[in-house]
């Protein structure tokens, strides 16, 4: 099953082997916990002039070891893809760095990555970041797919609280004695990450055409990115 982060940047080729673009973002259903398509950034005209992105449903793509293949010579029109889906791309959601909360309103963190079934798009797991400090203190939180409810109003909602979720990595992994303190620290920075993302929560499909959605999420990217040092 592919990870959202692994698909971003992946080449998309046509049926005749021509590169049509690369995946700029994975887009999710307006409310259900499943990926429904990708936003493809096409090559610049003459290598200079940027062109608007194209939206392609997952069902129109085939995953291969060297990238994604679209069954056609050129990418589909927006009208065709919306007819395929049955609704507008305007209502789709880019989950990366979105706030995450529990169904009872509790703060958890922000989406770090998502693993999903390419056939049908169902989410199998979601990794949640609580910001750089929280990730160092307790590691990222792992949410099983069955606990992910989907996007609701301003955040991705899960049927679990912060304390219910297991962590991967972080200082707490190596020092169990300090786990309780680290967990408390992680909870505090989770709220910071969540609050920072609230103004960017409604960053959906077409906002990325103008770059508005991407700019709005820059501050959350700084809080949730992998430490490359």
Distance between CA 105 and CA 33 in Å, rounded?
A: 18
Residue 101's beta-bridge partner residues?
107, 157
Confidence check: pLDDT of 179 > 80: no
pLDDT of residue 131: 65
Rounded Cα–Cα distance for residues 67 and 122 (Å): 20
- Which domains, and CATH codes, for the chain? 4-91 (2.30.30.240), 99-224 (2.30.30.240)
Name beta bridge partners: 23: 40
- Average pLDDT on 88-96 reads 89
- What letter would DSSP give residue 90? G
Give the model's confidence band at 180: pLDDT under 50 very low, under 70 low, under 90 confident, else very high: very low
How is the chain split among helix, strand and coil, in percent rounded to 5?
A: 35, 35, 35
Nearest alpha-carbon partner for 123 in 144, 151, 98: 144
Q: Quick one: what percent of the chain has pLDDT higher than 90?
A: 34
Q: Are strands 11-13 and 67-70 parallel, antiparallel or unpaired?
A: parallel
Of 179, 202, 193, 182, residue with least CA distance to 224 = 193
pLDDT at 169: 53
pTM of the model: 0.71
pLDDT band at 153 (very low <50, low <70, confident <90, very high): confident
Contact 55, 61 (CB under 8 A): no
Helix axis angle for 179-197 and 131-138, nearest 10°, is 160
Please state, in angstroms and as integers, the Cα–Cα distance from residue 135 to each residue in 24, 45, 112, 184, following that order: 25, 41, 11, 12
> Where is pLDDT greater, at 214 or 71?
71
* Mean pLDDT, residues 20-37 taken together: 94
Task: Give the number of C-alpha atoms closer than 13 A to the C-alpha of residue 175, restricted to the C-beta side.
Answer: 10
Compute the average pLDDT of residues 211-224.
Answer: 46
Mean pLDDT of 179-202: 47
What average pLDDT does the segment 72-88 reach?
Answer: 86
Alpha-carbon gap, residue 50 to 13, rounded angstroms = 18
**If pLDDT is split at 50, 70 and 90, which confidence band does 47 have?**
low
State how far Cα 126 lies from the chain centre: 9
Count of residues making up the chain: 229
Average pLDDT over residues 203-216: 41
For the chain, what is the mean pLDDT? 75
Residue 81 near residue 59, CB atoms below 8 Å:
no
Per-residue pLDDT, 10: 93
- Our CA dihedral for 134, 139, 140, 142, rounded to 10 degrees, sits at -140
Tell me how far apart the alpha carbons of residues 123 and 224 are, in angstroms, rounded to a whole number: 20
């Amino acid at each position: 099953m592919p990870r959202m982060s692994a698909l971003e940047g992946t080449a998309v080729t046509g049926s005749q082997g021509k590169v049509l673009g690369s995946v700029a973002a994975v887009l999710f259903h307006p409310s259900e916990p499943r990926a429904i398509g990708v936003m493809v950034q096409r090559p610049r005209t003459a290598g200079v002039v940027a062109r608007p992105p194209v939206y392609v449903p997952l069902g129109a793509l085939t995953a291969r070891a060297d990238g994604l293949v679209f069954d056609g010579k050129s990418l589909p029109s927006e009208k065709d893809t919306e007819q395929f889906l049955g609704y507008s791309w305007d209502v789709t959601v880019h989950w990366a760095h979105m706030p995450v909360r529990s169904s009872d309103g509790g703060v958890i963190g922000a989406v770090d990555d998502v693993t999903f079934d390419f056939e049908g798009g169902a989410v199998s797991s979601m990794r949640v970041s609580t910001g750089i400090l929280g990730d160092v203190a307790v590691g990222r939180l792992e949410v099983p797919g069955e606990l992910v409810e989907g996007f609701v109003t301003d955040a991705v909602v899960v049927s679990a609280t912060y304390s219910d979720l297991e962590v991967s990595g972080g200082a707490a992994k190596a020092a169990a004695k300090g786990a309780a303190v680290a967990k408390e620290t992680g909870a505090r920075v989770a709220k910071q990450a969540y609050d920072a993302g609230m103004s960017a929560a409604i960053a959906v499909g077409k906002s990325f055409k103008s770059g508005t959605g991407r700019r709005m999420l820059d501050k959350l990217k700084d809080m949730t990115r992998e430490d490359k040092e």
